[in-house]
Amino acid sequence: MPIASRKTAAAKTSKTSRATKTSKAAPRRASSAGADAIALLRADHKEVSALFEQYEKARAATRKKALVDQICGDLRVHAQIEEEIFYPAVKTALKDRELVPEALVEHASMKSLIEQIEGRAPEGEEFDAKVKVLSEYVKHHVKEEQNELFPKVRATRLDLEELGQRLAQRKAELKGEGDSSTSEVGRSQPVGVEA
């Protein structure tokens, strides 16, 4: 009996560790060329969440402003490539009448908050509150995309590599247009961007 229970325990442990290993080994590629559509969008989500974390720790106004401008710029580009390329493709592939429309409404709320903070001086509690609420909106939206939308998209026959190339290309174009003013917050620029 002790042997049996030891065996069970061992099996359980190895299963758990295997499961952990597998999930850790899931594809996690950089946000530029070569990533499939979902890997690219996930990398964007991760990057912006790290920027929100940096904002929470930041104290100096110049640092806060640089971070907010970076966050707003990144979110605008991300929302735009989803709206122009990803959402229409997945809406058709999934015959979706719910998730994509909801995502678009959420994008609209985020953009309205972005308009209230982008380019403004980061002064006072209200500014911090707006950044905080924006980060909460983003967190909620990202969770829905990653937990509900992306798994459904993965199960379709959509060519995610091709879609990823189109997203990367459009992202590089948009970043090229918007990079002239701010951006010294230590983040790599997309590969192959020509201004």
**Which one of 12-20, 35-43, 119-127, 150-158 is the stretch in contact with Fe ion (CB under 5 A)?**
35-43
Q: In angstroms, rounded to a whole number, what is the distance separating the alpha carbons of residues 23 and 2?
A: 31
Residue 188 CB, nearest distance to Fe ion (Å)? Answer: 19
User: d(Cα 54, Cα 57) in Å, to the nearest integer?
Assistant: 5
Q: Tell me whether residue 66 or residue 90 sits nearer to Fe ion (CB atom).
A: 90
Minimum CB distance to Fe ion, residue 162 (Å): 19
CB of 138 to Fe ion, least distance (A): 9
Residue 42 CB-density burial (10 A; 0-12 exposed, 13-18 middle, 19+ buried)? buried
Q: Is 74 in the site for Fe ion (CB under 5 A)?
A: no
Q: How far is the CB of 15 from Fe ion (least distance, A)?
A: 32
- Residues 30 and 42: their CA atoms lie apart, in Å, by 10
Contacts of 151 (CB under 8 A, 6+ apart): none
The footprint of Fe ion on residues 125-164 (CB under 5 A) is 145
Q: Residues 78-97: x/- map of binding to Fe ion (CB under 5 A)?
A: ----x---------------
**Distance (Å, whole) CA 42 – CA 86:** 13
Q: Site residues (CB under 5 A) for Fe ion?
A: 41, 82, 145
